[in-house]
Structure 1
Amino acid sequence: MKQLVYRGVFVCSIAMALLVAALPAFAGGNKSNANLVLPVEEQTTQPHSQKTIGVLLFPGFEMLDAYGPMEMWGNLKHAPAATWGGEDKKVGIRLVTIADQRGEVASNQGPKTMADYGFEDAPQLDYLLVPGGLGVIPLLQDKATVNWIRTRAAKAELVMSVCNGASLLAAAGVLDERPATTNKMFWKHSTDPGPKVKWVKKARWVDDGNVVTSSGISAGMDMTLAVIGKLYGKDMAAWLELLTEYDAHRDPSWDPFAVKAGLVRD
Structure 2
Amino acid sequence: MAYPETVNLAFNRAVIEPDFAFSTPDRDVPAAPGYWLVLRENDLIARAAPAGGGLELPYGQGPLAGPYAVPPVFVGTWRGRPLRAARLSPEAAVAPGLVAVPAGYRYAGLDEKLLTLAGIARQVLHWRDRSRICPACGGAPREIPGTFGARCPACAREYYPRLHPAVIVLIRRGEEYLLVRKPGWPAGQYGMVAGFVEFAESLEECVVREVAEETGLAVDDIRYVGSQNWPFPSQLMAGFTAGFAGGELRVDTTELEAAAWFSAKNPPLVLPPASSIARRLMDLHAPDMVAAALARK
Q: What TM-score results when the alignment is normalised by the length of structure 2?
A: 0.22
**Greater share of helix:** 1
Larger radius of gyration: 2
**Greater share of strand:** 2
